[in-house]
């Protein structure tokens, strides 16, 4: 579901309702403390502006094992608030933490229609991180009339070699595969419970969507914006929808960020520039806007906002992209 009540341009205040209880906050903290995902840091208010005031609302779409917010902890750390401060109407979608691109896409499509009904807009600008990219592409593929643009960040459009590795080491029908899939499904369900999102989870569906073979099948159904060369640009404008992308290429960016180390280990699987989970070439969609010294979590300003101090701020990239969309009348 999308958090309509708390995703307006006028405020970035989060209404957590019953989730403000001490038990749930403690559970959320324990969950996130043991994963690579997210950690809280106080956000500072920014001066109001209009640089990101796009014509159509922006909908942010999280990746695998992602969510809207848990115990006051945001997936998109500091990004919605700054976009709103610069004039954008921003909504944060919440689809299944793990499932296929098609299932997540159908969930997102319903939320896009909710945003349009709430705002009176005729289209939205979709920005997806990681698996959020193919999820957004599904919506633009089945309902292009509802989408002004799709921007993807660190999305493995031609598959992730990490997903390939997992598939190769967990043979079809093996006990190890069943155990891992069950554990991922349980973890995904816990994320859903803590975030108030009780949609069905499928770790196997996510794996099959993010590996090379699954991505090729998806691209055959939804080719818009996908480059026809190994590491080139795709068509920017297809069926009235504009496509953009960027990615990170530096797995280790901050020695104080614990998530950098496992991402650095995984980076060796790719054999080419990558963010730890997705290669830069696989991340190309439409007009490729560039590669940055960021890893897969830096791309959404996690963890703790820790990043390469000599690289552009992830938050700035989102504001700049909104400004670009504004210039295009989107």
Q: Which residues are marked as active site?
A: 130, 275, 296
Residue 142 CB burial class (10 angstroms; 0-12, 13-18, ≥19): middle
Distances (CA, A) of 87 to 12, 27, 188, 197: 12, 34, 33, 28
Q: Is the dihedral angle over the CA atoms 257, 258, 263, 266 positive or is it negative?
A: positive
Helices (H) and strands (E) in the chain, counts: 10, 9
- Contact of 80 with 59, CB cutoff 8 Å: no
Q: Which residue has the tokens 């309702």?
A: 17
Residues 6+ apart with CB under 8 A from 255: none
Q: Is the dihedral angle over the CA atoms 252, 211, 224, 89 positive or is it negative?
A: negative
- Contact of 238 with 282, CB cutoff 8 Å: no
- Strand ranges (DSSP E) for 80-157? 90-92, 124-129, 147-153
Residues 6+ apart with CB under 8 A from 192: 67, 96, 97, 198, 199, 201
Q: 274: which DSSP letter?
A: B
Structure tokens at 199: 């949609």
């Amino acid at each position: 579901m999308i958090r309509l009540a708390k995703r307006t341009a006028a405020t970035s205040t989060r209404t957590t309702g019953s989730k403000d209880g001490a038990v749930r906050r403690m559970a959320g903290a324990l969950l996130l403390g043991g994963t690579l995902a997210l950690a809280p840091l106080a956000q500072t208010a920014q001066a109001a502006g209009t640089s990101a005031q796009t014509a159509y609302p922006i909908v942010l779409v999280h990746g695998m094992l992602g969510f809207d917010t848990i115990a006051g902890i945001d997936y998109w750390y500091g990004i919605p608030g700054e976009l709103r401060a610069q004039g954008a109407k921003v909504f944060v979608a919440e689809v299944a933490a793990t499932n296929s691109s098609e299932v997540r896409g159908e969930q997102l499509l319903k939320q896009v229609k909710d945003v349009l009904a709430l705002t009176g807009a005729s289209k939205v600008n979709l920005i997806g991180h990681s698996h959020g990219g193919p999820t957004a592409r599904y919506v633009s593929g089945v309902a292009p009339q509802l989408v002004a643009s799709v921007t993807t960040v660190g999305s493995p459009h031609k598959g992730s070699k990490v997903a390939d590795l997992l598939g190769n080491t967990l043979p079809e029908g093996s006990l190890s595969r069943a155990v891992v899939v069950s554990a991922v499904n349980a973890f995904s369900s816990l994320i859903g419970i803590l975030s108030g999102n009780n949609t069905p989870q499928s770790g196997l569906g996510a794996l099959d969507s993010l590996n090379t073979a699954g991505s090729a099948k998806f691209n055959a159904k939804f080719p818009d914006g996908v480059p026809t060369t190994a590491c080139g640009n795709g068509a920017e404008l297809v069926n009235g929808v504009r496509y953009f992308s960027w990615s990170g290429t530096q797995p280790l960016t901050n020695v104080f960020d614990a998530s950098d180390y496992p991402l650095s280990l995984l980076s060796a699987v790719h054999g080419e520039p990558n963010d730890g989970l997705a290669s830069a070439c696989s991340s190309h969609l439409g007009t490729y806007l560039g590669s940055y010294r960021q890893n897969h979590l830096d791309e959404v300003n996690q963890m703790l906002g820790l990043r390469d101090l000599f690289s552009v701020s992830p938050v700035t990239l989102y504001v700049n992209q909104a400004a670009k969309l504004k210039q295009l009348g989107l």
